[in-house]
């Protein structure tokens, strides 16, 4: 079992949900996050005027799942990223799990 973490901009949320389903990953969690491309944006976000938003609305998805599901998901994400016309591709990482209950 491993932990897969996927991030995407908000406009790809439905697409990522389909990718998880097609990879046979049915149990996962998600969270809304703000994504930043560089350190300057983070500094601007902590300005005196908190109503100013400089980050991109993004989503973080994660699931504890088996290797074969992760392999399928990575193949689907790689294929999906070839079709997007933006520099905000879907990103994914895998973290091995040493112990679990």
Task: Please give the Cα distance from 84 to 64 (Å, whole number).
Answer: 27
Confidence of residue 56 (pLDDT cuts 50, 70, 90): confident
End-to-end CA distance of the chain: 11
Model-level pTM greater than 0.85? no
pLDDT of 9 reads 93
Token pair of 52, please?
Answer: 């100013």
Domains in the chain with CATH codes: 2-96 (3.30.70.120)
pLDDT of 12 reads 95
């Amino acid at each position: 079992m491993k932990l897969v973490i996927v991030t995407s901009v908000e406009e790809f949320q439905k697409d990522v949900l389909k990718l998880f389903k097609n990879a046979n990953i049915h149990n996962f969690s998600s969270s809304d996050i703000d994504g930043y491309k560089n350190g300057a944006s983070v500094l601007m976000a902590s300005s005196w005027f908190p109503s100013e938003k400089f980050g991109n609305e993004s989503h973080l998805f994660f699931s504890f799942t088996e290797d074969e599901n992760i392999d399928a998901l990575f193949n689907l994400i790689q294929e999906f990223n070839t079709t997007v016309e933006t520099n905000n591709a879907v990103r994914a990482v895998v973290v091995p799990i040493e112990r679990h209950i």
